[in-house]
A and B are shown apart, each in its own frame.
Chain A
Amino acid sequence: MIIQEQKPFDEILQSLEGEEKIFLVGCSLCATTCQVGGEDQLKEMEGKLKEKGKSITGWIVLDPACQAVEVKKKFRERKEEIEKADSILVMACGGGAQSVRENAERIKINKIVHPGVNTLFQGEIIRGGHFEERCSLCSECVLEQTGTICPLTRCTKGLLNGPCGGSSNGKCEVDPDRDCAWDLIYKRLKEIGQLEKMSEIREAKDYSKLMRPRKLILEGDKK
């Protein structure tokens, strides 16, 4: 799940300066779960923008916004409303906003696309609206060695070889409310009888694997 939150409304308003007619785009997946880009939030945004003198030419919840085919198909269907607008406001993650911009352009709808959301992290839904980061998308999973608890993500410093001196009573020096990842890993490895894994030296991570932008094409889709 891509965890996200709405940008401050004033910032959104500022980005729409000089534009009167707006088309709103949401997303049925992460943005809906995070309550920024579902139907309810788009309706709410419509109301707030109208109060500020904007008109909304239409809105759509893409399913999902990060899928090229979906953007192109739905935008073709709603071309008239979109064309009437001065710009598009995307209430979905940064990937969604870029996918909207890119795929609209591909079908010759050339509108300014504004992001209405700050993309935060890849997270787990703990419950309802409580999300926590668990994976850093690091391209080289180390969970096998760490009792399925990610030190790159859950240790503030991303340490691979055990706790720093700032670990105290299971908490992190940065924030006493934050668990020390290495304390969690230690307890887990001990519990499952794999504490010896903690004694193995982990070599420095290969960050060349994280060179951006990353891309993956499955075998069957290579031409």
Chain B
Amino acid sequence: MKLREAFESGKFALTAEVAPPKGTDLGHVMEEVEVFKGKVHGVNVTDLQSSVMKMGSLAVCHLIKDKGVEPVFQMTCRDRNRLALQSDLLNASVLGIENVLCLTGDYTTLGDHPQAKPVFDLDSVQLLQAAVKLQNGGDMVGEKLEGTPKFFLGAVVNPGADPLEPQLIKMEKKIKAGAQFFQTQAVYDPSLFGRFMKEASKFKVPVMLGIVMLKSAGMAKYMNENVAGVFVPDNLIAEMKEVPKEDRPKKSVEICARLIKEMRDMCQGVHIMPLGWGKYVPAILDAAGL
């Protein structure tokens, strides 16, 4: 079942995520994708995540689609101007890629090529607008297309942002611009998510709870200090700290499943970001009863 169909049929939607390699060896990505096959409705493929130079999202989306897995093509505005972004949207379409997640993108200096020229010709709202225009048969300047693409457009939102109101304003703009579903930044606090969803559910657009698998107490603390709007509560950090290293995946699976169970009724799906721990995703889904 495709992601779009999952939402339309009222099923709790499930997505996971892979990051393309730095280099040409897709072994690890393909292994993870095999694990996800048949268990999720889509797999996000990141676009030079954290501004680190890697293989692109588009090629990997195409290759995993060939393996029978529904890709979610992540597109950031950091590296391409509007000509290239629209062109890649057409490229995606002819490769049968329908789901596109439109993001602003991390700033260049946060990655491994801080010298690179940042583009940000469009922002995420304008990228959504551009995709909608293409779907309607024209490009950003109104030139008619020969053949029209069809997308299922996604966007992101950060429920942990403080203040929250600017995020909600932008979320509503993204919906007006064409966003059909949302995946959130990682959330570990059900009450925070509840407060967010109380506002966000008014928009009547499906929201997928984002969860990054915790790998260790140190990694959780690192996220708290370095990732905007991500807050891992102390009790979860303590839980990760208490277990011996070899039991961390098991603990992480348990925490993820628990969080999903606590929050699933508030939202329409979950987006699990395993950060290389893809092989444990089925265990999370099992434990969460999904």
Contact = CB atoms under 8 A, between A and B. Distances in A.
Interface in B83-142: 103-107, 109-110, 118, 120-126, 129-130, 140
Contact of B107 (A157, A162, A169, A195): A157
Interface string A144-174: 0000000000001111111111111100011
B242 interface: no
B80 interface: no
Interface in B128-172: 129-130, 140, 156-158, 161-163, 165-167, 169-170, 172
A204 B167 contact: no
Contacts of A166: 106-107, 228
Contacts of B163: 183, 186
Contact of A186 (B109, B156, B165, B176): B165
Given A157-B120, A159-B123, A168 B107 contact: no
Nearest to B171: A162
Contacts of A219: none
B54 interface: no
A167 B228 contact: yes
Interface in A196-215: 198-199, 201-205, 207
B177 interface: yes
A160 B120 CA distance: 10
B201 to A, nearest CB: 18
A203 B121 contact: no
Contacts of B125: 161-162, 201-202
A205 B125 CA distance: 12
Nearest to B109: A174
A63 B61 CA distance: 60
Contacts of B157: 165
Interface residues of A, number: 28
B86 to A, nearest CB: 11
Contacts, number: 92
Given A173-B228, A201-B177, A203-B126, A158 B82 contact: no
Contact of A161 (B126, B167, B229): B126
Nearest to A185: B166
B126 A173 contact: no
A182 interface: yes
A162 B158 CA distance: 13
A163 B120 contact: no
Contact of B170 (A162, A204, A205): A162
B107 A173 contact: yes
Contacts of A164: 104, 123-124
Given A174-B110, A199-B169, A160 B177 contact: no
B185 interface: yes
11 contacts: A157-B77, A157-B104, A159-B120, A162-B170, A165-B103, A166-B228, A167-B228, A168-B228, A173-B106, A183-B166, A186-B169
Interface of B: 77-78, 82, 103-107, 109-110, 118, 120-126, 129-130, 140, 156-158, 161-163, 165-167, 169-170, 172-173, 176-177, 185, 228-229
Interface of A: 156-169, 173-174, 182-183, 186, 195, 198-199, 201-205, 207
Question: Lowest 5 CB-CB distances: which A-B pairs, in order?
Answer: A168-B228, A162-B170, A161-B125, A164-B104, A165-B158
